[in-house]
Structure 1
Amino acid sequence: MHWLELTVKVHPDAVESVSELMSRYSSEGVVIEEPIELIEDGQAYRVREGEPVTVHAYVPMDGTEEEARQRISEGLWHFASIGAHFVGNLETKSVNEEDWANAWKEHFHVTQIGKRIIIRPSWREYTPKDEEVVITLDPGMAFGTGLHPTTRLCLEQVEQHTRPGMHVLDVGTGSGILALAAAKLGAEHVYAIDNSSVAVESATENAALNGQSERIEVVLGTLDEETAQRMAGQYDLVLANIIAHIIGSIAPQLAQVLAPDGLLIASGIIEARRQDAEAPLLEAGLELVEQRMIEDWMVLVLRKRRS
C-alpha cells in the first residue's frame, strides 16, 4: 500500500481551519508540525512562536487520492483568497506503508509544559527530575500532542487545578493527553469521551502505556442531554479543549455535569470567537475566574456557582 502525503504551511491562526478541511479527506487524521528549535542536545525543544505551521494529511493511493487532493487544493485556495491568514501551496508526495507509519514520529520531541508536566513520546528516552510528572504519549494520528497552544494552555490549568481524589470529565479527549495529566496529578477517576473512534483507540492505548487504565475510562460518544442528565453534578473538574462554537453549543451540559464549585477548563478558543463559548457558559450559570492566552488562543476557567 502506498499513501499520498499532502503538506501545506499555514499561519498559526489558520491551523484549526486547515486541519479540519484536510481531515475530511484523510481517515487517519492529520499531523500538525509546529516550527521548533531543538535544545538540550536534541532531547527537548522550544516552539518558534509566530512562524508558519506545517500540516500533513495522508490518503491511501487507491484511486480516490486525486479527487481528495483536488478538493483539499480548492479548499486551501478559498482560505488563501480570503486573505486573513497566510496559507501556502499544497505539496504532495507518495510514501510507502512503512514510511507512512513512521513519518509523523520525527515531529515529536520531549517537552515541558507548566512547572511539572513532561510530555515524552513513547519512542524517545527521558530521565525525570524530582517532582516531574512524565506522560508517555503515543499520539498516533489523533490531535493532542501538547504542541498546539490550546493544549499547552489546558495542561497548565490542569496542573494548577487538579487535586488528589478529584473526579474529572474530559470532553473531546483526542489522544488522551489531558486525561493522562489529570490522572497522574492525582485525580481518582477520569471519564474521557470522544466522538472519533481513532481518538478513542489512541487515548485507550495511551492510558495503558502510562499504567492509568484503571483511573481513565475512555468512551466513544458525545456529551448530549441524556448523557449530561445521567452524569449531573458528578465532576469536580471538566476539561473541554474543542472549539468555541462547539463549547457554546454544549454549555448547558458542561454546567450540568459539574459539581457545585466545580471548575470547567475550556479551550480551543480563538480570541475573535470568545463570545461563542463564553456567553453561553455564563448563561448556563458559570462564572469566569481566570483566563490566559498564547498568541490569539485562549483558555477560560469557570466555576459553577452554588444554587
Structure 2
Amino acid sequence: MLEGLPPNGATHVMRVDAPEREARSIADIIAESFDPAEVATSAFEIAVTAEDSPWAVEAYFGEEPDEDAIRELVALVSPDHAAAAVFSTLDKKDWVSASLEGLAPVAVGRFVVHGFHDRGIVGPHQIGIEIEAALAFGTGHHGTTKGCLAAIAAYGKKRRPARTLDVGTGTGVLAIAAGRLFHTPTVASDIDEVAVTTARANARANKAAPEIRFLHAPGLDAGAFGDMGPYDLIVANILLAPLKRIAKPLARLLAPGGTVVLSGLLPSHANAALAAYRAQGLRLVRRRTIEGWTTLELSRNADRPRR
C-alpha cells in the first residue's frame, strides 16, 4: 500500500509545515522509502488565518530515525523544508491522537470517511465510514482512496453488483463502502495479516461485517477467490508492479460485463497498467487523476468470454 501501517507504540515523530503540493509529495516519498510496518505518514491542512492555509506533514517511527537520512528525503522535494523539519519524541499513549489531529472528514459521493471525533457530521442520506488513521493504510485522505471511492459511487448510480472484490484492502474502507452501498457479498483480501485483522474490526464497527468476507492471501491464486466469484466489480488499490502481476488472474475472476477499478498509480504509470489489462480483453471506461494519483475504470463486454 501507499501509506504505512502505523507501528504499535511509535514514539518518534518528524514534522514539517509546507504548502499542500510539497506536503503531499514529502509524505509520499517518506511512505514509499520505508517498510510500512515501521513508519506511518500523514499530510493534512492546518486551520490558521484566512490569508494563509499551510499544510503539515508528520511521520511516525517505531524506532529513532536517522534524522540526516530523513532530511535528505525531504530535500528531494524542497531543501528549505528539509532544513525546517522538526524531530521530537511523544509519549506512547499520545501518538495515536496526535496522528489524527487535523485530519478532516473526506466526502466522496455519498461516502463520508471520518474519525470517531467527527461522527456527528454525517448527514441522513450519507454513508459514514469511521476509520482511524492509527490503524492501517486507507483513511480516505489519499488521492488513490478518493479515486476508488468515486468509482464505487459512480458504479452505484447505474447498477448494483452481485459480488464485489477488494484487492489490497488495507483498513477495509473500500470493502466497507461497497458493503454499505450495495448490501451484496464482498470479498476483501490483503497480503498483510495485520491489515486483514484491522479491516475485519473496522467492518464490524461500521456494521458492514455481514456483507464482507476477509482473506489473508498473496495474489489471487487462492481457490477461495474463484469459489466466491465471479465478481461484477473488482477494486485493486495497490501499485503498478503488483497490478501488472495480477492482471491475468484478476481478469479471470471478472464477470461478463464487469468493471475493474485500478489505483495506486502515478499518472506516468497509468498507461503501463492499462496495457496489461487491455491484453486481457478489458477496455478503458474512465480515467481519474486526484491529487497526483490516477485511477482507471475498465470493463469487459458482456459477450466477451473470460480467458
TM bucket, shorter chain: 0.7 to 0.9
Of 259, 262, 265, the residue aligned with 2:258 is 262
Q: Which residue of 1 aligns with 2:40?
A: 30
Describe the shift of the 1:284–1:126 C-alpha distance in structure 2 as closer, same or farther (beyond 3 A). same
CA–CA separation in structure 1 for the residues paired with 2:222 and 2:24: 36
Q: Report what 2:154 is aligned to.
A: 160
Bigger mean CA offset, 102-111 vs 287-296: 102-111
Deviations 1:77-118 (A, max 9, x none): 2674xx5x437425321111211232212132333212x111
1:106 corresponding residue in structure 2: 101
Q: Identify the range of structure 1 (228-237 vs 239-248) with the bigger mean alpha-carbon deviation.
A: 228-237
CA contact (8 A) 1:244 1:277 kept: yes
1:21 aligns with 2:33: yes
Q: CA deviation at 1:186?
A: 1.3
Residue 170 of structure 1 pairs with residue 187 of structure 2: no
The alpha-carbon distance between structure 1 residues 228 and 219, as it changes in their structure 2 partners (threshold 3 A), is: closer
Tell me how large the CA RMSD over aligned residues is: 2.7
Given the alignment of the two structures, is residue 235 of structure 1 paired with residue 238 of structure 2, yes or no? no
Q: What is the TM-score normalised by the length of structure 2? A: 0.81
Query: When you count strand as a share of all residues, which structure comes out higher?
Result: 1
Distance 1:6 1:255 in 2: 42
1:190-201 matched pairs, under 5 angstroms: 190-201=186-197
Query: Which aligned pairs between 1:169-248 and structure 2 lie closer than 5 A?
Result: 169-227=165-223, 230-231=226-227, 234-248=230-244
CA distance in 1 between partners of 2:101 and 2:143 (Å):
20
1:244-303, CA deviations, whole angstroms, 9 ceiling, x for partnerless residues? Answer: 222122111221111111100111111111123111111122111111112432111000
The alpha carbon displacement at 1:36 in A equals 5.2
Match of 1:121 in 2: 115
Distance in 2, Cα, partners of 1:199 & 1:8: 28
Give, in whole Å, the separation in 2 of the partners of 1:6 and 1:179: 32
Q: Pick one of 91, 94, 102 that aligns with 1:96.
A: 91
The aligned residue for residue 5 of structure 1 is 13
Given the superposition, is the C-alpha separation of residues 141 and 303 from structure 1 closer, same or farther in structure 2, using an over 3 Å criterion?
same
* Residues 143, 292 of structure 2: 8 Å contact kept: no
Q: Which runs of 5+ in 2 are unaligned?
A: 1-8
* SS of structure 2 residue aligned to 1:34: strand
Which residue in the other structure is 1:59 paired with? 62
**2: CA distance between counterparts of 1:112 and 1:184?**
15
**Could you say what secondary structure the match of 1:285 adopts?**
coil
CA–CA distance in structure 1, aligned partners of residues 141 and 281 of structure 2: 32
| Alpha-carbon distance between aligned partners in 1 of 2:10 and 2:288, rounded to the nearest angstrom | 43
Unaligned runs of 5+ in 1: 39-47
The residue that corresponds to 2:287 in the other structure is 291
**Residue 279, structure 1, aligned to residue 279, structure 2:** no
* 1:136 pairs with 2:136: no
Q: Any idea what SS the aligned residue of 1:32 has?
A: strand
2: CA distance, partners of 1:141 / 1:8:
22
Matched letter for residue 123 of structure 1: H
- Asked if residue 148 in structure 1 is aligned to residue 148 in structure 2, the reply is no
